A and B are shown apart, each in its own frame.
Chain A
Amino acid sequence: MRIFLKKFWRDLGEAKGQFVSVLIVVMIGVMFYTGMNSALAAVGGAGDRYFKEYRLADIFSTVIRAPEGAVDRVAAIPGVKRAQGRVVQDVRIGIGDRDAIVRLISLPEQRTNLINDIRLTSGSYFSAESGNQCIVSENFFKANGLALGQTIEPIVNGSRVKLKVVGTEQSPEYTYELRDAGDLVPDPKKFGLVYVEQSYLQSVTGFSGAVNDISVLLDRNGDGKTVREEMKNLLRRYGESSTVERKDQLSYSLFHSDVESLKSMGSAFPMLFFIASAVIIYITMTRMIENQRTLMGVLKALGYGDGQIMLHYETYPVLVGVLGSVLGSLMGIFVVGRAMIDLYNTYYNLPMEGTEVRWELLLPASLLALLFCVAAGWNACRKELRLMPAESMRPKPPAAGRKILLENLGPFWKRINFSWKIILRNVFRYKRRSAMASVGIVFSMVLILMAFGFQNSVDYLMNVQFQKIQKFDLKVNFAKVQNADELATLRSIDHVRLVEPVLETGMELTNGWRKKDIGLIALDSGSKLYGVLDARVGRAVIPEEGILLPQRLMDSLGIRVGDRVFLRSYYPGKNGDRDKKPVIVRGSTLEMLGQTAVCSTDSLNYLLGEGKIISAAYLKLENPGSEEEVVRKLRDIAGVRNVQSKSEILSNMEQTMGTMTGMIAIMILGAGILTFAVIYNITNINIFERRREIATLSVLGFTTGELKSLIFNENFFLGAFGALAGILPGKWLTQLAITTAATDTMWLPAVLNPASYGIAVLLIGAFTVTANLLLGKKVREIDMVESLKSAE
């Protein structure tokens, strides 16, 4: 057997390129599978651990004012483990020459077993010496260039309160630092969290002995739904305005839907990648071993048993499988996984630990890769070993000559030259072989298209969202709901061309027994600044009465156009059962971010009984240059909570989309490497199998250039064929992958730009050219004397 090992190492030395390229395919398959999946698992796992470790509440309740004693009564509800009261208040703060909003949140003096605990990232918890200390959320701290020990001065009830910054934190309650669901993306410059010692905050806010926020941890048997109902009943008298379970808590639900969409996006791709690698490994291995046919016959003739020969030829697949899996796993965890975790870390406030070896991902991937290698080797060996040595020592019978269908096209066939005749006959005569070679390229095409598809879809979403939906330049959010007449003030500002009323509110939608909390946005029927789209991305008309619902929401709740549903607002005093209002669903809309119902401002009075009310306004300016001036004037208006400019929303949005863009970049890179390895492998084997043919033509006087064109044109043909054949499955799988990636809060339309097909084909072409250039040397090196030998 030692001699076999020697032979093995020498064979290996002679075909390093081949070995490396097969190895790379195995590596890439394992690498992407383990890397992407372990990163996704890390994000989800880190999230769950984080929420648990810092005791994120199970139920969050907001009241107007409740005595501290009410907290104890909540704690006494069966199923409640503990309850904690807080004072939470949003206040203005001036930092430098800018205005921002901070949410003041009270924390007890002693930090023991807190519900909604914070994770200190620098500094320390409150010390006993004074009450006016605060801990600031890290993002806000950094975005505003604060320093520890510095004093910040939020305006509480009209007067400045001096607070010394003693620490920074991250909190599970605000994985996304959003003020409310109306903000699409965090803006750490303009909104942050400031934690203050409880009794101090109570005294400065006028909440001595009282709280306005109650969080609850359930015990093991506690049922969220029942406890929530009980809490609502109990707290109604204190002006309960919202009580939500953890799953509906803004930050938590956003995080989960984000992880979900990453997961569904990230799972199809590595899987497909892995399958592609497996198929390619199988094809190459089989062909490589088949090429050793005569040698196997010789070994058999010498008296070696099938088992021994098989064992020898399995050395290669096993080595490729083991080495590929090990290297792939290592790179998967430490390169791809690490890169993706870093990427996620820049977007989520998660204490994500470093890389972790996840055997539950590594083992199946590695074993499967190995299995594919060994199975390919076994299958190829078995086929050749079944022959008697005398037969297998003889060269393979010459390929039967047959005319191909194409030859019936007389004029065409006469026109093309011999190299193309050889190529076309080769391709069509060895259908199986060509098909297998193309399969690799088809897979590559699918992977590249899928990656591009995600990119195009995200771009499309951004484009639709900001060109067709949000057509305003500025959005003004008011601190309180007010009458639509107040907009006159905004209209009088110079450079403002158009002002439109907006009301954004939460609603409970009921259809029969099915209920769902949704957002409702009320707009002018003829709104020019906010486009409501129908399912075909055309303009939907906002009905005078009745509502429009997102198609996906209608599907999930079984609602059809023309159905009657019930809406109930959350407004205190108007959220009883008798305030449920029947409305007719007038049509469906296309909503990509969030799920919001649309109605006209005119029908608001019917729904809420408050007349025409607004919570915000959309503004269109006469020219973009005046934005700064207008924003300044708007901020001075009493009752304006904040002003969002579209360009700011856009840039924040793009930042949030960053995780996706990063992931897409990794996908494109992976697809590229795989494509290259595939083409290199195919070409390499082609050259090996045809070296006798090449040597003969060389003796006949063909130049190296002519020989190369013969071999490489076949590659181009297969490449072109594979690329074209990959278009439809690519398109189809892209659509499947993207549409299944939809979550409650985000829906990506599956879009593949025509240009993407072009680029994908060009990429395949470029990889083919590169592989050909690299392998040109091999063609040159073929010894003409090969042609004189008897065929093997």
Chain B
Amino acid sequence: MSVLSVPPVRAAPSRLVPPRLVRALWLELKRSPVPYLLPLLAVFFYLDPLRTADGYPPVWTLRASVIGRDVLYGFSVFAAGIAAWAGTREGRRKTADLLATTPRAAWSRLSVALAGTLCWLLLAFLACVAVLYVQTALQATWGGPPLWPVLVGAAAMAMATVIGFTCGAVFPGRFTAPLVALGIAVLFEIGFREAAAFRGALVKHPSPWAGNVPLGVRVHELLSLNTGTYALLSPMNGVPSVDAGVYYRVAPDLSIVQVMFMGGIAVAVFGALGLAAGLREPGSAGGWPVRLAAVVLVACGAAAAGTGFALAGTAQPDAVAGGWEIPALHSAASDQPINAAPDCTSAGGFQVCVDPALGFDLRSVAAELDPEAAEIAGLPGAPVRAAEISSTNGWKAGIYGNPPVFEFNTDHADTVNTEFDGAPNLEGWQTELRQGLLDAFLAGPSPAAGLDPAQQAVRDALLAGAGAQLAQESYPPPLLPAAVAAAARRFEALPAGTRHAWLAAHLAALRAGKITLAQLP
């Protein structure tokens, strides 16, 4: 076979011929080492991020949080390592001398190789995001895919890739690739730890997306922790609350500064690659214009990263919509509530309404509340329906309005633990939801003080009467005293009608704290 027998490229006058750089990029894409790594990335994606996301309720913001916390960790480590490997190519293959005789500047040549590597890695990342989003789209009941987590992730991938490639090109040794991968893993772990430490210092909830920082907490009290700004810039977020992005849009302020910071670093390191390539090949073509361009890129990248860092330092809790706002970037539009008609059970009986984004949960919420509502139906102050509200403004669950409505939120009935990594705790959620209704019903004038022993006993008896187990040992509140448990069993043993009648007669006194355990039937 002769090369002349291969059908030649028919360069007809009207056909566009790809520019040189595009052709060179095509070669790099064809021969990149990244595709060999894709099976490993696919396995990692399935075992960690995809399974983690599958365990979360199908709320877009919640599922998208996996991108920053789980996908990026593994992908960035390998992106940096394989990019460093690609960067060492000229040194490993001893082509530097030969390539130095070509007219293109070394930076230009290396940029093409870098672009080829980056294209593959971004493609892999976006493919995984697509799988995640398609899975969510098939399950979610409202909303659409958030794009800012994807942009932040792409910026992080680009940063890791450029850093890795530059290290490989400048230090083409055998230890460069594993050390770069290790370094990126360490950087992400530091960001993860600082974010965890930062959030651990928040007064109420560990997740700033829930916005449960009490109003009035001054920002400097939080950001004076030396991890504050770094924590905000880290893409390794905590698990947001279930209703993040449901009642109010998630402000893109933090995402913008993260993209600025990481994108700036990527640009600056890319410029440094140009300077390093020029130093390595003193006779390299290009001369001062190339060096000037490299210096400009370094300066612009550093400026962008520095600006992002400075802006992150001005972040303050968003008292309205939750999360964080950065005054210089904040738009009032993101503080407007999202108007969406709630999903409700049928109007007959005890109606339960939830936000449409949480509509997947409607039946189970109704299933938890209906028995408790039936136990207290018709009693003074008993709610006629239940409605879910936003958790972002610190609103406490309770019974409000006339006619009385039990208002609850996902903070009160959270499907994820307050642990940083998050894990569903369905049993805890069920217990909290039922108790929440009864606590609000039985609470006296000072609900923050909690229930007194007689109120606790009545609550637990009603829970048991509705088929729920009495308060568990391992879940707050702590073990009930034996006397309270005994009184609860006594009260629960009564026929439902008798319980109901007693409550009708003594509810006001019970709420006022005037009933003792001994006075319970």
Whether chain B is bound by chain A comes out as: no
